[in-house]
Amino acid sequence: MKITVNGNPETIDVCSITDYLVEKGLTGEGVVVEHNYKIVKRAEWQGVQLREGDNLEILSFVGGG
Amino acid sequence: MQEDLLKIGDMTFENRLFTGTGKFSSKALIPEMLEASGSEMITVALRRVDLGSKTENILDYIPKSVRLLPNTSGARNEKEAVRIARIAREAGCGDLIKIEVITDMKYLLPDNYATLLATEILAKEGFVVFPYVMPDLPLARQLENAGAAAVMPLGAPIGTNRGLETRSMIEILIENCKVPVIVDAGIGRPSQAAAAMEMGADAVLVNTAISSAEDPAAMGKAFSMAVSAGRMAFLAKMREESKTAVASSPLTGFLD
């Protein structure tokens, strides 16, 4: 199925947010996920199944002043 | 000397130099700089993860004893600032947020009005809000009324190293604000940071001048010493300047 991640189209197998992040190695401290423009708390990642057409934003801290 | 702690909201700081994580040539320099400077709070920004490359997590380079002050850089209006703040809180690093709303990309000057609107919203949501603003007393009062924890006037445009170009306006804020005044942006030299503290600023935030120095740890320490010296001079109460000489030795002739 096709989803959009950080503005880019991606084709993935059916999975939860946690599965997707584990696959990408993005489960570290400070990672935040917006699923269809709503923040999903870390504790709820496992329970959210990604669906065709979904939009994910994955953010983390970077250097800044 | 009495203990001199900076209180912001329910936090206290011994060190009045706040630092930033931007523009270090290597992230490994960040903990060295924090150790050398003793800075107790450091800013971070929030961005989309680059899925194409393995990037290091900046949080791995910041000791847990140092507070994180996420900023809303990249926000062009109050709505984006609020969104970034909520995301930053969800990242699990507390309720602190430095509001930075910038629409002018040449001078990177803050949009004071949008910053006020974002402050009103975020303070109500329980954020500890640090608004980055042009020094403007009526605005600072509105920010205080909106629940800002501090005000952060700029000394000069971000990254310019030009020092306290807004000096007299910052002095007005220092004399009149009830919340701490933290001079942020444009400070390029330790002597400029010392000057801000001598004026009575509660703290300074320095990023570029430290991170882009050839030796960021040594520069961090130099800034920390300057901030501490400036603060001590402020508390010791300097005398006014005089147009004519005031003798420090007896004015009588040597053998009179």
- Inform me whether the pLDDT recorded for A50 exceeds 80: yes
Is A59's CB within 8 Å of B93's CB?
Answer: no
- Inform me whether the pLDDT recorded for A46 exceeds 70: yes
Average pLDDT for residues B55-77, to the nearest whole number?
92
CA B27 to chain centre: 20
Query: What was the pLDDT predicted at B92?
Result: 80
- Inform me whether the pLDDT recorded for B52 exceeds 80: no
Would the CA dihedral through A15, A20, A23, A29 be positive or negative?
Answer: negative
Which ipTM was obtained for this model?
A: 0.88
Distance CA B202, CA B231 (A): 8
- Inform me whether the pLDDT recorded for B129 exceeds 90: yes
Average pLDDT for residues B36-52, to the nearest whole number?
93
Q: pLDDT-derived band of residue B2, with 50, 70 and 90 as boundaries?
A: low
- Average pLDDT over all residues of chain B: 94
Report which residue type is found at B75: A
Query: What was the pLDDT predicted at B1?
Result: 58
Average pLDDT for residues A22-46, to the nearest whole number?
89
Q: Is B46 at the interface with chain A, CB within 8 A?
A: yes
Q: Choose the most confident range, by mean pLDDT, from A34-38, B48-52, B207-211.
A: B207-211
- Inform me whether the pLDDT recorded for B53 exceeds 80: no
| pLDDT tens-digit map of B192-228 | 999 999 999 999 999 999 999 999 999 999 999 999 9
- Inform me whether the pLDDT recorded for A24 exceeds 90: no
Residue B79: active-site member: no
| pLDDT tens-digit map of B233-243 | 999 999 998 99
Distance CA A42, CA B236 (A): 50
Q: Is B87 at the interface with chain A, CB within 8 A?
A: yes
SS (HEC) of chain A: CEEEECCEEEECCCCEHHHHHHHHCCCCCCCEEEECCEEECHHHCCCCECCCCCEEEEEEEEECC
Query: What was the pLDDT predicted at B213?
Result: 97
Average pLDDT for residues B157-169, to the nearest whole number?
95
Q: Which two tokens stand for residue B87?
A: 């995301």
Q: Which residue has the tokens 């001199």?
A: B4
Query: What was the pLDDT predicted at B3?
Result: 85
* Position with higher pLDDT, A33 vs B251: A33
Query: What was the pLDDT predicted at B51?
Result: 81
Chain A residues whose CB is inside 8 A of the B60 CB are 28-29
Query: What was the pLDDT predicted at B117?
Result: 97
Is A63's CB within 8 Å of B46's CB?
Answer: no
Residues 6+ apart with CB under 8 A from A22: none
Per the residue annotation, which of B7, B64, B98, B178 is the catalytic one? Answer: B98
CA B85 to chain centre: 18
- Inform me whether the pLDDT recorded for B245 exceeds 80: yes
Q: Is B208 at the interface with chain A, CB within 8 A?
A: yes
Q: pLDDT-derived band of residue B55, with 50, 70 and 90 as boundaries?
A: confident
Query: What was the pLDDT predicted at A27?
Result: 79
